[in-house]
Amino acid sequence: MKLFLIAGEPSGDRLGAALMAGLKSLTQVEFTGVGGPLMQAEGLESIFPMEELSVMGIAEVLPKYFPLKRRIRQAAAAVLASGAEALVTIDSPDFSLRVAALVKASRPELRTIHYVAPSVWAWRSGRAAKMAKVIDHVLALLPFEPPYMTAAGMSCDFVGHPVVAEPLASPEERAAFAGQGPLLLALPGSRRGEVTRLAPVFGEVVARMKARHPDLRVALPTVRGVASLVRDLTAGWEVTPEIIEDAARKRGAFAAADVALAASGTVSLELAANACPMVVAYDMHPLTLWLMRRAALIDTVTLVNLVSETRVVPEFIGPDCRAEKIAPALEAVLADPSAQQSAMALTMERLGKGGAPPGLRAARSVLASLRGPRHR
């Protein structure tokens, strides 16, 4: 069996790698497509660098519109020429669903599977119906998502969130961060645009925290595509952060941190898996923010808040993403970290902790979909 996979950012690369490992444990399979280092380590031949697709936000995409259009056409042509039995797109819907549309236009019978259901419960509820025109089957990360997908005409399985199966730090990895003073985990994102926008704000927060905690330590886990940018943008911070790319060192930092300041996204679930209390902050282009707020159906963007059905994680979005607001909230969480513990534990339980690994569950769902009828 041959599959064509497309992932467009580091979180999708992790999902794709776990899916590939699960598939390899169940059947003989070959992979081609677009992916990052983790998917390549599992045997994917990437037709171009995944980092070219790591763009988020309407206004942010506009300058890269024509290069992305070329990559969409290139990817669709590669799918059609590959002889793959299915196209599996992983998140990055603005790119991957356009590829799926071109593929379906040429080969309507080719099975299309999308990993990560669109957050229609959060905004733009009509996306599910549009996606159903080009996608046959969906792999959902959150337990409440399948009904939204099946109502639109696609088959869908909740396969669990991969965060519940990711390895946690060993005692030695955690002990490597032992030291005097509180350890702050700074997580300004994995895309160049969000890192550029958030790093100055996070730096101001660090300065305010440093004034109250002279022995403050800062760790900043990051990814290959933005590591050099992060080093440049944090060079003038009051506390020079330890920039971490090594996986074992990252695990240790997540386990040892006293509190985290994080961009909005799946990183809140990684923090919850490590029982690390957090504050979430995010900013974006004003046009993107305005459009998203007009379409919003929920009052929080933090996944821990959503899955646990609480609002215990403070968040500062758009105009509220300012150091003078974030720092006091971070101080409050640092002073009473226990307030978030039960919500984080409930989140992990609801995402599948203790069950079969999500990558294996996703692989079983893919194979079942290939054997089953096409939904429309």
Give yes or no: residues 242 and 324 share one domain. yes
Phi, psi of 112 (to 5 degrees): -120, 130
Residue 185, strand partner residues = 219, 260
Decide if 376 is inside a domain.
no
Decide if 293 is inside a domain.
yes
Range of the domain at 11: 2-160+355-371
**Angstrom distance (rounded) from CA 159 to CA 306:** 18
Give yes or no: residues 86 and 141 share one domain. yes
**Angstrom distance (rounded) from CA 210 to CA 190:** 25
Give yes or no: residues 240 and 184 share one domain. yes
DSSP 329-349: HHHHHHH-GGGGHHHHHHHHH
Decide if 146 is inside a domain.
yes
Decide if 165 is inside a domain.
no
**Angstrom distance (rounded) from CA 186 to CA 260:** 6
**Angstrom distance (rounded) from CA 175 to CA 110:** 50
Q: How many domains does the chain have?
A: 2
Residue 6, strand partner residues = 34, 89
Q: Which residues of 344-370 are buried (b: 16+ CB within 10 A; e: fewer)?
A: bebbbebbbeeeebbbbbbbbbbbebb
Cα separation values, 195 from 2, 6, 200, Å:
36, 23, 9
CB neighbour list of residue 198: distance below 8 Å, 6 or more residues apart: 188, 189, 263, 281, 282, 283, 321
**Angstrom distance (rounded) from CA 255 to CA 275:** 8
Predicted pLDDT of residue 11:
84
Long-range (24+ apart) CB contacts under 8 A made by 21-27 are 21/359, 22/357, 22/359, 22/360, 22/361, 22/362, 22/363, 22/364, 23/363, 23/366, 23/367, 25/360, 25/363, 26/360, 26/363, 26/364, 26/367, 27/1, 27/367
Nearest to 53 by CA among 23, 108, 90, 78: 90
Predicted pLDDT of residue 290:
64
Predicted pLDDT of residue 265:
85
Predicted pLDDT of residue 266:
85
Cα separation values, 270 from 72, 255, 290, Å:
31, 10, 28
Give yes or no: residues 130 and 194 share one domain. no
Give yes or no: residues 178 and 326 share one domain. yes
Give yes or no: residues 128 and 188 share one domain. no
Give yes or no: residues 111 and 181 share one domain. no
32: region left, alpha or beta (phi > 0 left; psi from -120 to 50 alpha): beta
Rounded-to-10 torsion of CA 362, 368, 372, 374: 10
Give yes or no: residues 344 and 361 share one domain. no
**Angstrom distance (rounded) from CA 67 to CA 87:** 22
Please, what is the Cα angle at 284 between 127 and 186, to 5 degrees? 110
Predicted pLDDT of residue 56:
45
Q: Are 340 and 55 in contact (CB under 8 A)?
A: no
Decide if 251 is inside a domain.
yes
Give yes or no: residues 29 and 6 share one domain. yes
> Which residue shows structure tokens 């409440």?
144
Distance of CA 217 to the CA centre of its chain: 26
Task: Give pLDDT tens digits along the chain (376 positions).
Answer: 999 999 998 889 999 999 999 999 999 999 999 999 999 999 999 999 998 886 544 444 555 677 888 999 999 999 999 999 999 999 989 899 999 999 999 999 999 999 999 888 666 678 899 999 999 999 999 998 999 999 999 999 999 998 999 899 999 999 999 999 999 999 999 889 899 999 999 999 999 999 999 999 999 999 888 999 999 999 999 999 999 999 999 999 999 999 999 999 889 999 999 999 999 999 977 776 666 665 565 678 899 999 999 999 999 999 999 999 999 999 999 999 998 999 999 999 999 999 999 999 999 999 999 987 654 4
Decide if 166 is inside a domain.
no
Give yes or no: residues 15 and 117 share one domain. yes
Nearest to 114 by CA among 95, 88, 93: 88
Give yes or no: residues 338 and 359 share one domain. no
Decide if 37 is inside a domain.
yes
Nearest to 275 by CA among 208, 174, 348: 348
**Angstrom distance (rounded) from CA 29 to CA 42:** 11
> Global pTM?
0.79
Domain CATH for 345: 3.40.50.2000
DSSP 34-82: E--HHHHHTT-EESS-GGGG---SHHHHGGGHHHHHHHHHHHHHHHHHH
Of all helices (H) and strands (E), which one includes residue 278?
strand 278-282
**Angstrom distance (rounded) from CA 120 to CA 123:** 5
Decide if 340 is inside a domain.
yes
Give yes or no: residues 201 and 310 share one domain. yes
